[in-house]
Structure 1
Amino acid sequence: MRDLLLVGIFLAVLPIALRHTWIGVLLWTWLSIMNPHRLTFGFAQDAPFAAAAAGVIFLSLFITRDKLRMPWSPPVIVLFLFVFWMCITTAFALDPGDSWHQLNKVLKIQLVTAIALMALHERRHIELFIWVNALSIGFYGFKGGLYTLTTGGGGRVWGPAGSFIADNNHLAVAVIMVIPLLNYLRTVATHKYLRLGLLLLMVFCAFSALG
């Protein structure tokens, strides 16, 4: 059932992502950070959803009528210089095999990041991007925090298998990093129950990190 639900959501969003690059970026971000396919139990568990979303993003660059422009601000320039520096240091790495493998993964992420910089230039784009990032990690923060409270800290909280945050320490860093984003969303939210829900989610994220 989860597999069909995920595939249904993915296929429903794809046509919109083709027309609007920023929607594709949000879809790819959700799939890459939350890894919802790892929560399924059937054929969807190992399906390359993020890779397919990235392919749609590249196609949308030639189809979309949205304005795409690179904001050449100092932080963006520093980011690109840092990526260039990673390429140089990898060339002189002590363990070239593993280093080039890791660089390959990083460059794929940075390529989509560059497209995101071009596509997410309106306030609503940025805030939706924050929502996707915050709730994708916040889901595991809530789940892990609830588990920590119900077990009295007797169990260890792990992230989704096969992801960048699968390790318990990596997940702890992620949920701590997402707390300021949740707090920002709380400050801009207009509904009091939404603000309360985000505050509670921040608390659960803190307990998840402890777990």
Structure 2
Amino acid sequence: MRDLLMLGIVLGALPFALRHTWIGILLWTWISIMNPHKLAWDFAQNAPWAAVVAGVTILSLFTTRDKLNMPWEPPVKVLFAFVIWMCVTTAFAFYPLISWEQLNKVLKIQLMTVIAFAALRERKHIELFIWVNILSIGFYGFKGGLFTLRGGGAERVWGPPGGFIEGNNELAVALVMVIPLMNYLRVVATRPWIRHGLLALMLLSAVSVFGSQSRGALLAVSAM
């Protein structure tokens, strides 16, 4: 059932992603961060969902009627310089095979980041992008918070298997990063049930941070 649900969501969203690049960015972000396919039990687990969505999103650059504009602000230039520097340092790495493999992964992510810069142009695009991020990570914060409260913090909270936030440290830091974004959406929300829901999600995510037993995240949440 979960596999069919995943298939239905992606196939249903791809035509819209082909027409609107920003929808492709949102879909790719959801799959890449939340790893919803890893919650399935059959064929969806190992299917290349992110690659398919990325391909359609890149194709949409030539089919969309939306205006795309790269913001050449200083932070964007710094990011480009950083990517170039990563390529230079990889060329002189002690372990070239491992380093080039990692660089290949990083460059794919940076490519989608650049497309996001050009596609997410309006306030609604940015806020939807924030929603995708906080719900993708907040899902595990919600689960982890309840898990910690139920068990009294006796066991660690872990992220989705096979993802960038699989480890307890990675998940905890990601939660620390999105809690302020949750608060932003709570402040700008006009409906009380959304504000209350986001407040509850913030609290459970904070509990999940402590439940991860991550010392680095403890320092980060103290600074936050």
TM-score normalised by L of structure 1? 0.98
Q: Give the whole-Å Cα distance in 1 for the aligned partners of 2:76 and 2:58.
A: 20
> Quick check: 1:112 aligned with 2:117?
no
Aligned residues: 211
Long gaps (5+) in structure 2: 212-224
Partner letter of residue 194 of structure 1? I
Partner letter of residue 207 of structure 1? V
Deviations 1:165-193 (A, max 9, x none): 11111111111111011111111111112
1:208 is matched with which residue?
A: 208
Secondary structure of the residue aligned to 1:70 is coil
How does 1:131-150 map onto structure 2 within 5 Å? 131-150=131-150
Q: Give the whole-Å Cα distance in 1 for the aligned partners of 2:8 and 2:26.
A: 17
1:197 is matched with which residue?
A: 197
> Quick check: 1:33 aligned with 2:22?
no
2:221 is matched with which residue?
A: none
Deviations 1:75-98 (A, max 9, x none): 111111111111111111222222
Q: Give the whole-Å Cα distance in 2 for the aligned partners of 1:99 and 1:195.
A: 44
> Quick check: 1:61 aligned with 2:88?
no
Please say which of residues 83-92 and 122-131 is displaced more in the overlay.
83-92
1:71 is matched with which residue?
A: 71
Secondary structure of the residue aligned to 1:160 is coil
2:13 is matched with which residue?
A: 13
Q: Give the whole-Å Cα distance in 1 for the aligned partners of 2:57 and 2:193.
A: 35
Q: Give the whole-Å Cα distance in 2 for the aligned partners of 1:184 and 1:96.
A: 42
Long gaps (5+) in structure 1: none
Q: Give the whole-Å Cα distance in 1 for the aligned partners of 2:83 and 2:184.
A: 28
Partner letter of residue 51 of structure 1? A
Q: Give the whole-Å Cα distance in 1 for the aligned partners of 2:182 and 2:16.
A: 27
* RMSD of aligned Cα (Å): 0.8
Q: Give the whole-Å Cα distance in 1 for the aligned partners of 2:52 and 2:147.
A: 33
Q: Give the ranges of 4+ consecutive aligned residues of structure 1 lying more than 2 Å apart after TM superposition.
A: none
Partner letter of residue 150 of structure 2? T
2:167 is matched with which residue?
A: 167
Partner letter of residue 20 of structure 2? H
Q: Give the whole-Å Cα distance in 1 for the aligned partners of 2:94 and 2:148.
A: 40
Instruction: Tell me the CA shift for residue 161 of structure 1.
Output: 0.7
Instruction: Tell me the CA shift for residue 100 of structure 1.
Output: 1.3
Q: Give the whole-Å Cα distance in 2 for the aligned partners of 1:68 and 1:168.
A: 37
Q: Give the whole-Å Cα distance in 1 for the aligned partners of 2:6 and 2:52.
A: 14
